Amino acid sequence: MSANLSAILYLISGVLFILALRGLSSPETSRRGNLFGIIGMVIAVTVTFLSVGNFTSGFIYVLIFLAIGGSIGAFIAYKIPMTAMPELVAGFHSLVGLAAVFVAISAFVNPQAFGLGIPGNIKLASLIEMAIGAAVGAITFSGSVIAFLKLQGVMSGAPITFKGQHLLNALILVSIIVLTFYLCSNQSANLFWILIIISFLIGFLIIIPIGGADMPVVISMLNSYSGWAAAGIGFTLENTALIITGALVGSSGAILSYIMCKGMNRSFFNVILGGFGATEQSGADNNKEQRPVKSGNADDAAFLMKNASSVIIVPGYGMAVAQAQHALREMVDTLKKNDIKVSYAIHPVAGRMPGHMNVLLAEANVPYDEVFELEEINSDFANADVAFVIGANDVTNPIAKTDPQSPIYGMPVLDVEKCKSVLFVKRSLSPGYAGIDNDLFYKENTLMLFADAKKMTEDITKNL
Amino acid sequence: MEIDPFIFRLSIFILSIFVGYYVVWSVTPSLHTPLMSVTNAISSVIIVGAIIAALSSNDEVIFSSSSIYGYLAIVLAAVNIFGGFLVTQRMLAMYKKKKKKDK
């Protein structure tokens, strides 16, 4: 196949990828968008086969390995529970990162195959691109592995910090740049390997100080990195599809990180430098006097809701942990039968990844037009009778609006306290991730329901 | 004077960043999780490089020092491509409008 034709076909697959993302602007068009993405991928792979044109026994192995990877991927995709989506995405990011590293290594070892020169004398520009692709890929890989372990619960979600952490990270980053520079001047394979190893190390070090609830930012950031790694390799291979895709994914991840940071009213650097909650607790501990709370049982909750005309449900990470989304939907069905208006309010950083709650509710067959974002629904709380907070905490804390001393001051929160009554499903009175008490617990109109989210929801349904 | 082809690729890159910027802002927040899984799938187009690497040794040696990395990368990228697109498909199939299941 001529180089020009394949370049045009790669461009087409790049455009199809743009359409795949474009489709996600609404659920109706999204399925068609995904199809565009698949077609784009098929085109890119086919064109590559045709342009390499090497249908020897190696080709058979390529198909075999493709099939192995494909079946593993398909198996995972069908088996994975929706609550495990953050882990899955983190795991997939790590694979893209590692694949980028492998491709870069291969290009470094055998540059002739890619038309980049000969070993020891690789074109300067290609070498820089290769080094960038490999370094960013390695950071994506080790960072995603840590994120995966934290989300999976294998590793504690608590931030891990030590003295001189930032200094060490800064030194490593500088040394990556220095190494890249030396690599370009002497093309030493050893330097290339060292570069990859310390990139693995820095990925690991960057993610360990970041706590569990900051995971939405981390996942988005790693998403962005995987894109930049792909783009770096795309430049090396002079492949348009890869360059376009890398740029799309890179900017997509960056935008998501921005949205997540804004949802917490924190700067990106503040999140990345980490250690949130571990260091800033001092203010909260001082006034630990016992304040009275009203606690109730499923019966009370059912009574309140039965007499309401509108209910707003505020789900959070706790709902995902308790797998309570199906029980919740059943409760809502019963409420609707009693002509009670029900809607859902989703905070941007609820859960462990962007859109986490929406997927869980969709899984439980909640129609997406009953689910609203913070800005859409916040003014409705004042007119609603009952707010049902299930597994959320910090995102409802009114202190973010009133106390400039609070670490979460300025964070956009759901105006749950404006509801006539608030039902708060929670295991105990323990503070949320930010390590601060939630004023909402002690309000006159709040009824605490101390129980597992799923069990409580089921009990309420029985009592309705 | 001739323009370096690198400049053309750089132009594509920069323009794609802008396209990505505007396209992603128009993605509805409720679909942010599928967005992440689909971007995951499409970034695995890196398999293109993996295939070139795997097929680079055209002689009898199928598993050379460079092609072995290609094969490894093919497996990783393939997991991602199939896993990413299928899980996105599975998620998107769940997003339904009202009235469909209302009794």
pLDDT in tens, A256-291: 999 988 888 888 777 776 654 444 443 444 444 567
Q: Tell whether A233 is within 8 A of chain B (Cβ).
A: yes
Residue numbers in A near B11 (CB within 8 A): none
Q: Tell whether B7 is within 8 A of chain A (Cβ).
A: no
Predicted confidence (pLDDT) per residue in A353-396, tens digit: 888 899 999 999 999 889 999 888 988 998 899 999 998 888 88
pLDDT value of position B5: 84
A182-186, A266-270, B30-34: lowest mean pLDDT where? A266-270
Is pLDDT above 90 for A1?
Answer: no
Q: How far apart are CA A401 and CA A399, in angstroms?
A: 5
Using the beta-carbon criterion (under 8 Å), do A69 and B77 form an inter-chain contact? yes
CA distances from A157 to A140, A169, A257, A319, A370 (A): 19, 20, 19, 18, 32
Is pLDDT above 60 for A170?
Answer: yes
Of A226, A229, A222, the C-alpha closest to A256 is A222
Active site residue A403: no
Q: Tell whether A77 is within 8 A of chain B (Cβ).
A: yes
Which residue type sits at B45? V
pLDDT value of position A256: 92
Measured in angstroms, the CA of A217 and the nearest CA of chain B are apart by 12
Exposure letters A383-413 (e unless 16+ CB within 10 A, then b): ebbbbbbbbbbbbbbbbbeeeeebbbeebbb
Mean pLDDT across chain A: 87
pLDDT value of position A3: 84
Q: Tell whether B11 is within 8 A of chain A (Cβ).
A: no
Is pLDDT above 60 for A139?
Answer: yes
Q: What percent of chain A shows pLDDT beyond 90?
A: 41
Residue numbers in A near B85 (CB within 8 A): 34, 37-38, 41
Which B-chain residues 38-77 have CB contacts (< 8 A) with chain A? 38-58, 62, 64-67, 69-77
**Taking CA A440 as the corner, what is the angle to CA A437 and CA A441, rounded to the nearest 5 degrees?**
70
**Which of A45, A54, A69 faces B55 most closely, judged by CB atoms?**
A54
* Residue A108 burial (CB count, 10 A): 26
Which A-chain residues 191-220 have CB contacts (< 8 A) with chain B? 219-220
- pTM value? 0.89
Question: Which residue in A has a C-alpha nearest to residue B27's C-alpha?
Answer: A25
A117-126, A224-233, A246-255, A317-326: lowest mean pLDDT where? A117-126
Using the beta-carbon criterion (under 8 Å), do B85 and A354 form an inter-chain contact? no
Q: How far apart are CA B68 and CA A350, in angstroms?
A: 42
- Residue identified by tokens 């919740």 is A328
Q: Tell whether B9 is within 8 A of chain A (Cβ).
A: yes
Q: Which of A299, A339, A385, A394 is catalytic?
A: A394
Using the beta-carbon criterion (under 8 Å), do B77 and A96 form an inter-chain contact? yes
Q: Tell whether A133 is within 8 A of chain B (Cβ).
A: no
Per-residue pLDDT band at A15 (split at 50, 70, 90): very high
Predicted confidence (pLDDT) per residue in B64-100, tens digit: 777 889 999 999 999 999 999 999 999 999 988 765 4
Q: Tell whether B96 is within 8 A of chain A (Cβ).
A: yes
Question: Which residue in B has a C-alpha nearest to residue A348's C-alpha?
Answer: B29
pLDDT value of position A464: 79
A63-72, A234-243, A290-299, B77-86: lowest mean pLDDT where? A290-299
Measured in angstroms, the CA of B1 and the nearest CA of chain A are apart by 20
Per-residue pLDDT band at A326 (split at 50, 70, 90): very high
ipTM for the complex shown: 0.92
